[in-house]
Structure 1
Amino acid sequence: MAQLETCWNEVHRRIDKTCRQAGRDPSSVRLIAVSKTRTVPEITALHALGQQRFGENYVQEFVAKWEALALPALEPPLEWHFIGALQRNKTRAVAERADWVHGIDRLNIAQRLSKQRPDSHPPLQVCLQVNLSGEPGKAGVAEADLEPLAAAVAELPGLRLRGLMTLPAPSTDPAEQRRPFRRLRELHDRLNTRGHRLDTLSMGMSGDLEAAILEGATLVRVGTALFGPRNAQGTQA
């Protein structure tokens, strides 16, 4: 697992360097290790280095890992972020296990998570996913529908609306990378002027985390830069 430690240190070096460039405290950016398709030993090895936050995209895989790592409990405890698309018939498994859900773009999904969140659990931390490109069929709420969705989700018991998330089209141009992240920050700030108390921008992955941090990211979702190339299943992070 020596390579994993090297990669973990390099990702943190990139985060720290960019925060200094932006005049930000590096502690203001938290790293989510996107562990989809990765093994339990890889997760425990990364946790041993100090990584606490892990992101999963597929409900069945998430549940299997959650159960495998539930006992004996790791210290500090793992913080599970569900970052994939969520179907109506799979919300209960996530509501009962996850700490965060990043991809909410429909009120009915939020309502099901609210109803299914156990009373014994703290509120489920949630982000709304925004489709900034306007592409039909792409996940995320349209900008025009964001404010009413945010208002409705903020009222649901068992949930705490923390912020916004986006998954922009890949680009290798730093200026183009920053454009959608800047827009998400503007939407975040606009919601706060409407009375929300958002504090989270979930944006930036292996290839564009610097652009995201420069535009205010507080959570970056990194998979490939930590673990190396993935299996064919799913989109790389």
Structure 2
Amino acid sequence: MLELEANLQAVRRRIRAAEQACGRPEGSVRLLAVSKTQPATVLRAAYGLGQREFGENYLQEAMEKQDALADLDILWHFIGPIQSNKTRPIAERFDWVHGIDRLKIAQRLSDQRPESMTPLNVCIQVNIGGESTKSGVAPADVAGLAHAVAGLPRLRLRGLMTIPAPTAEVGAQHAAFRRLRELLERLGIPGLDTLSMGMSNDLEAAVAEGATLVRIGTSIFGRRPRAKGRA
């Protein structure tokens, strides 16, 4: 686990350096460890190193980890598209959802969120580059969906999320993240405080453009094996 500790420390240093470079206060950017395909033992080790927020993409795998780690005070984030038949366990088990791109899914999550739990924090996923292979709502449709989601009683709309096309060109990275920030600023909905953007290869550009939460997997856990048959 020495490699895990070194990786976490390196990512935290990158985040802090990015905050400093653009004059943002320390701690203004949260680290979400994207832990899909990692065993519960690795998440437990990361928790012991101070990591509290974990993001999962595969529901069945996530539920098994949640059960194995029920003794830990973890904030669980579900990332990615959601099928209608999976909304109930997500509504019952997660603290955050990144990936709302249809009102139908948001309505089901609201209806199925237990009254005993606080409202489910959600971000709308925006397909910022209009890629045919990516999930997310088109930028032109963000406002309509956001206002509808903000009115659902068991959800708390927190902001926007995006996964832009990968590029090593720093200017293009900045442009995509800037566009998401500008979309958020134009919404005018009270309480929006989250820009979920930036991953291992572009977190510095994301922080410079206003990210409040970066989703990091590879730089923490290393490259993952290709997942097959997960749900």
Same-fold status (TM-score > 0.5): yes
State the Cα RMSD in Å: 1.0
Q: Which structure 1 segments of 5+ residues have no match?
A: none
- Show CA shifts across 1:80-119 (max 9, x none): 0001211000011100000000100000000000000000
Give 2:208's aligned amino acid.
L
Please name the residue that 2:193 is paired with. Answer: 199
Q: Which structure 2 segments of 5+ residues have no match?
A: none
CA distance in 1, matches of 2:203, 2:133: 25
Report the CA distance between 1:137 and its aligned residue: 4.8
Please name the residue that 1:168 is paired with. Answer: 164
Please name the residue that 1:145 is paired with. Answer: 141
Point out 4+ residue stretches in structure 1 off by more than 6 angstroms: none
**Secondary structure in structure 2 of the residue aligned to 1:55:** strand
**Secondary structure in structure 1 of the residue aligned to 2:27:** helix
CA distance in 2, matches of 1:2, 1:136: 40
Does 1:21 find its partner at 2:21? yes
- Show CA shifts across 1:56-81 (max 9, x none): 001111111111111xx22xx10000
**Secondary structure in structure 2 of the residue aligned to 1:28:** coil
Please name the residue that 2:80 is paired with. Answer: 84
Percent identical among aligned pairs is 59
Does 1:48 find its partner at 2:48? yes
CA distance in 2, matches of 1:102, 1:93: 15
CA distance in 2, matches of 1:67, 1:118: 18
CA distance in 1, matches of 2:117, 2:66: 16
**Secondary structure in structure 2 of the residue aligned to 1:27:** coil
Aligned 1:1-237 pairs, distance under 5 A: 1-70=1-70, 73-74=71-72, 77-192=73-188, 195-233=189-227
Report the CA distance between 1:231 and its aligned residue: 1.0
- How many residue pairs match? The answer is 228
